[in-house]
Structure 1
Amino acid sequence: MLDARAQTLLKTLIERYIADGQPVGSRTLSRHSGLDLSPATIRNVMADLEEMGLIASPHTSAGRVPTPRGYRLFVDTLLTVQPLEHGQTEQIEGRLRADEPQRLLSTAASLLSNLSHFAGVVMTPRRASLFRQVEFLRLSDRRLLLIIVTPEGDVQNRILSTERDYSPSQLTEAANYINQHYAGLDFGAIRDRLQRELASLRDDITALMQKAVEASTRALTEEAEPVVISGERNLVGVADLSDNVDRMRRLFDLFEQKTGLVQLLDASSRAQGVQIFIGGESELVPMDQLSVVVAPYEADGRIIGTLGVIGPTRMAYERVIPIVDITARLVSSALSHGNPTRHESG
């Protein structure tokens, strides 16, 4: 546990480092902390904070910088979150319209990036793999074209390789059975029902229907982009990230491959409110110099995705946290009610 004096000095040190990007020395702390302490006393407290792993001393400077552990203590217990300026809340509210959910999420990512000056990310809802009808077309002896029509009228095609040849009448029978019994259902639910019901069907179309369901599920879920990213180029200008080529490569691998990003955003969807993942302490964040501030968003009371900001650990958390929080609330409101309800910040 830190006493009040140590807390004030740690808070001042981190705030100065976030603002200036330079290691913070005892003179700076003496000027900005508001405490009437001698330089020797400040140096003693800093030595204690360093021993606790909350700050570290770069080789090139007499000053100190925060460690991931120091940032964690800061954001959990010392941070004073600033409410968004009135105009910023209006700006977010005015641009988030629910006419097209996909565009709404792209707009949210763009707003998060513009307001934070870092990268905005939104994990899109997993699309329900529903269909209106399917058809089979015979291409050759053991190759079929599966045509899937979604409830919105989108058409997806997949080629199936089968173990045996099927006659046109068998293909029509299989398609009619699927359309009659399962149209409008999610393919995941269909797969469960098929396990129970196919025993009563003839073996010759059982295998075909199972193949069709698996291919359809893939076709309808692969199409959706799992993460919308905006402003990743902003991070090129952040000295803490761009002064090392290996760091930049790992950063852009994260954005390009997206698998790690999806895991990170997915993990945060299981909790309420804003969460902060600080590099160096979270295995989900690939770099010590990176932090991710995220919050889940809902539709009609059910969490369907997460959104947030990716930036350096040296970010102004007191500004970024309310940006993420209010954007998540307004996206939830837009998806639930058709238009954002007014949200008073403060």
Structure 2
Amino acid sequence: MLDDRSKLLMKALVERYIADGQPVGSRTLSKASGLELSPATIRNVMSDLEELGLIVSPHTSAGRIPTARGYRLFVDTMLTAQPAQYASHSLAPDQPQRVISNAANLLSSLSQFVGVVVAPRRASVFRHMEFLRLSERRVLVIIVSPDGDVQNRVIYTEVDYTQAQLVETANFLNSNYLGLDIEQVRDRLKGEVESLRSEIASLMQAAVTAGTEAMTETQDDVVISGERNLLSVSDFSSDMSHLRRAFDLFEQKAQLMRLLDNTGQAEGVRIFIGGESQVVPFEDLSIVSSPYEVDGKVVGTLGVIGPTRMAYDRMIQIVDITSKLVSNALSHHK
């Protein structure tokens, strides 16, 4: 447990380091904290904080910087919430994929770091299906999901269907199988194939196969924006190996998804600081994340990835507000 004086000095040290990026010495800390303490007293407190593993002296510098444990203490007990400054931003109700993309861009532009959004898993239920004859034995299948997402697939058929036959088949599918999962449609078609005219039955089976592929194929599950922002972050630009590790993480979207899926298990904004656990594998990266909802149900996660030396209070605001904007835009897009 830290006494009030140690807490004040610790808070001042972290804030000064986040602002300047330079190790903080006792003289700077004396001014930043506003406490009238002798340099010797401050040095003693810093020595105690160092023994507790909260700060460390890099290389031969006389100053100190926070450790992952120090950042965690700061984030959990010393952050003072600022009033939201980003209320003027908005995300219009739109195609879900566009909302997700716009949200990643918004997170990136507000934070000046990397914005990441894990997209909601696409439902395999269709709201509407249409067929369009492209040429002999080539048919465009248009599948509309309940959330308005549109998927197109070209299928090659054994028979050359007329547009009238295609319309008849689409009408049959839309009136009999509306709202069913694509797999349920496939199962029901197997049982009803005998009673359907053979040419329409084979078209429907081809369409359902295309629909299954379209709805279940790997979509852009993780949308990332602003990786280039890290090039101008001194913590990374001064060490190319740090930068390479960060970019490797963005390339490995499966790992990034696992990272953000972990963060989506809890309500509200969460902060993961690199080096304090296995959740964030790199000491120099931190993640501020929040789940987002559609109609009250959590469907995905979004966040900001940046250096451990980030203005956490601002990032919390940015992530919290973007999460609410995404929830609102997706819930009102029907």
1:37 maps to 2:37: yes
Return 5+ residue gaps in structure 2 as ranges. 132-137, 159-171, 195-203
Residues 297 and 328, structure 1, Cα contact 8 Å, conserved in 2: yes
Work out the CA distance in 2 between the residues paired with 1:10 and 1:99. Answer: 45
Residues 134 and 146, structure 1, Cα contact 8 Å, conserved in 2: no
Alignment equivalent of 2:87, drawn from 89, 97, 110: 89
Q: Match of 2:301?
A: 306
- Look up the equivalent residue of 1:89 and give its one-letter code: A
Alignment equivalent of 1:282, drawn from 273, 277, 284: 277
Q: TM-score, normalised by structure 2?
A: 0.79
Pairwise CA RMSD: 3.6
Work out the CA distance in 2 between the residues paired with 1:48 and 1:29. Answer: 15
The offset of 1:102, in angstroms, is 2.1
Residues 133 and 183, structure 1, Cα contact 8 Å, conserved in 2: no
Residues 151 and 215, structure 2, Cα contact 8 Å, conserved in 1: no
Work out the CA distance in 2 between the residues paired with 1:326 and 1:256. Answer: 27
1:249 maps to 2:244: yes
1:291 maps to 2:286: yes
SS of 1:89's partner is coil
**Residues 109, 298 of structure 1: alpha-carbon distance in 2 compared, 3 angstrom cutoff:** same
Alignment equivalent of 2:153, drawn from 153, 156, 167: 156
Residues 130 and 142, structure 2, Cα contact 8 Å, conserved in 1: yes
Work out the CA distance in 2 between the residues paired with 1:67 and 1:213. Answer: 55
- Look up the equivalent residue of 1:257 and give its one-letter code: Q
Q: TM-score, normalised by structure 1?
A: 0.76
Residues 126 and 221, structure 1, Cα contact 8 Å, conserved in 2: no
SS of 1:298's partner is strand
Q: After the TM superposition, list the runs of 4 or more consecutive aligned residues in structure 1 that deviate by more than 6 angstroms.
A: 145-148, 177-181, 196-202, 209-215
**Residues 20, 221 of structure 1: alpha-carbon distance in 2 compared, 3 angstrom cutoff:** same
1:258 maps to 2:262: no
Q: Match of 1:104?
A: 99
The offset of 1:201, in angstroms, is 10
Residues 277 and 291, structure 1, Cα contact 8 Å, conserved in 2: yes
- Look up the equivalent residue of 2:266 and give its one-letter code: A
Work out the CA distance in 2 between the residues paired with 1:215 and 1:54. Answer: 57
Work out the CA distance in 2 between the residues paired with 1:114 and 1:16. Answer: 24
**Residues 275, 61 of structure 1: alpha-carbon distance in 2 compared, 3 angstrom cutoff:** same
Aligned length: 310
The offset of 1:322, in angstroms, is 0.7
Residues 141 and 207, structure 2, Cα contact 8 Å, conserved in 1: no
Work out the CA distance in 1 between the residues paired with 2:182 and 2:266. Answer: 28
Work out the CA distance in 1 between the residues paired with 2:275 and 2:139. Answer: 48
Once the two structures are superposed, residues 196-215 of structure 1 have per-residue CA deviations (whole angstroms, 9 ceiling, x without a partner) of 9989999xxxxxx9999898
SS of 1:150's partner is strand
Residues 69 and 276, structure 2, Cα contact 8 Å, conserved in 1: yes
Return 5+ residue gaps in structure 1 as ranges. 136-144, 160-165, 167-176, 203-208, 340-346
The offset of 1:270, in angstroms, is 1.6
